[in-house]
Structure 1
Amino acid sequence: MDTREMVTPRNPCFSAQSPHIARWLSPFFLACAFYFLIWVPEDQPLWVSALVKGLPVLCLVVFLGAVAPEGGSTPLFQGGLLCSFVGDACLVWPEAFLYGMAAFAAAHLLYLAALGFSPLRPGLLLPVLLPAGAFLGLLRPHLPPALAAPVAAYSLLMALVLWRGLARRGGAGRGALLFAFSDALLAWDTFVRPLPRGRLLVMASYYAGQAFLARSAVGSPRRRAR
């Protein structure tokens, strides 16, 4: 039997897991609702703000531990989520922006390793790099000189994760695309011009992107095909 058939949503064994998956995802949705409902002011950087902001991501770590196959790329996705939690906490304090960016860069490295390079689909790389380069060109005049090189390196790493996510398609592609969109909104809102409801758009797309990436690990073709 073709191993690809084992990972399609129509597979009965996969479908039978849906209630179990939904049950373990419910804390994530509750944590997201809690964050948006209490809406901790950004001008009051407190540890409780960092915890509430990062709680949905921690719920995804638990979700993967409960439903994803052991071994394979699951620990890499969990590591990426934990690094993201550190990044979320750092970004609560403006003076810790570089530390937050470093934590998210580590998360993207782990996601890159988790997504792998098969199938390669090199034709997707240029359509990803060109818009990323154009956006960086628009952003760069507004960046402090000390951040120009780190933001450029981070943007390249994010573009590589987007390439690999799109190459994998499905939830991985949607997750990487939403994550990149969230990062672009955050950069524009922070360095160029505040966006109307910018924080809401940034966090909604960010949480959705992380959820899609985590969900893609449950039915990873890379693991099942081995």
Structure 2
Amino acid sequence: MKNLLTIAIILTALFYIFFRPSTSFEFELFLKVLPIAFIILYAILNMPKSRHLIHYLIIIGLVFGAVGDVTLHHFTIGLTAFLIGHLCYVVAFMTQWCSSFMRATSIVPIILFSYIIGHGLITSIVNSGKQSLIMPIILYIMVISFMVWTAIMTRNLFAAIGAILFLISDAILAWNMFVVEIPYASVLVMLFYYGAQYLIAKSLKDF
């Protein structure tokens, strides 16, 4: 069943990214969220028989990701949904924290990357006169950066890679939206995003 779901996730994701028809807006949203619906089901099937808080929080985080998908055209609403999803991931990953100096040092490149992206975004937003977005975006950057670090600190490879892909996806999305257009941005954003959510769902079996 899980193998069939993986195939369904890949096929529906690729169809949305490369072949979705330009029909109604509602149908496009349906196609966009369909891979996430399969990923949520995949995550549920990946939950071990002995379930803990982390398993339920990751499922809730995936659900809020789906909400963010269908509301992102209302930017602040979509951003809030993804923010709540990331907070669920943060709390989930913190329950599996494994202390390690080497893994802890990963906070340095995370902060550096987030600072560079954040500085560019805020500068562009200020210049465009959209100052009301500054605080929500700063908060979002802080939370997703912390989410990546906590994922790395779990020692779960799938969770760590998934979180990193999520950060890259959001960085491309925001840079393309507020700073400068990036070639094939929509393709890159969704490839990294679906990959991120799939790997986070897959990580459940190892928690």
Per the normalisation by structure 2, the TM-score is 0.88
Deviations 1:37-68 (A, max 9, x none): 43355xx7722111111111111111122232
Q: Pick one of 7, 14, 20 that aligns with 1:26.
A: 7
1:208 equivalenced with 2:190 (yes/no): no
Distance, in Å, in 2 between the alignment partners of 1:219 and 1:188 is: 34
Of all paired residues, the percent bearing the same amino acid is 27
Q: 1:45 to 1:133 in 2, by over 3 A?
A: farther
Instruction: Decide which of 154, 173, 176 is 2:163's aligned counterpart.
Output: 176
1:69 is displaced (CA, Å) by: 1.5
How big is each residue's C-alpha offset from its partner over 1:118-149, in whole Å with a ceiling of 9 and x where there is no partner? Answer: 11443332331122112211111112201001
- Correspondence list, 1:63-212, <5 A: 63-70=42-49, 71-72=51-52, 73-91=54-72, 93=73, 96-116=74-94, 118-121=97-100, 122-143=104-125, 144-169=130-155, 170-212=157-199
**Structure 2 Cα separation of the partners of residues 90 and 100 of structure 1:** 5
C-alpha separation in 1, matches of 2:33 and 2:81: 13
Q: Aligned partners of 2:8 and 2:170: how far apart in 1? A: 24
Larger Rg: 1
* In 2: Cα distance, 1:130 partner to 1:34 partner: 35
The code of the aligned residue for 2:118 comes to L
1:176-224 Cα deviation digits (max 9, x unpaired): 110000000000100011111110011001111111111111122xxxx
Structure 1 length-normalised TM: 0.81
> Which ranges of structure 1 fall in alignment gaps of 5 or more residues?
1-19, 221-226
RCO higher in structure (CA 8 A, sep ≥6): 2
Structure 1: which 4+ aligned runs deviate by more than 4 Å?
A: none
1:136 to 1:57, Cα distance in 2 relative to 1, 3 A: same
Given that 1:24 and 1:66 are in contact with CA atoms closer than 8 Å, whether structure 2 keeps it comes out as: no
Contact kept, 8 Å, 2:9 with 2:39, in 1: the verdict is yes
Coordinate RMSD, CA, aligned: 1.8
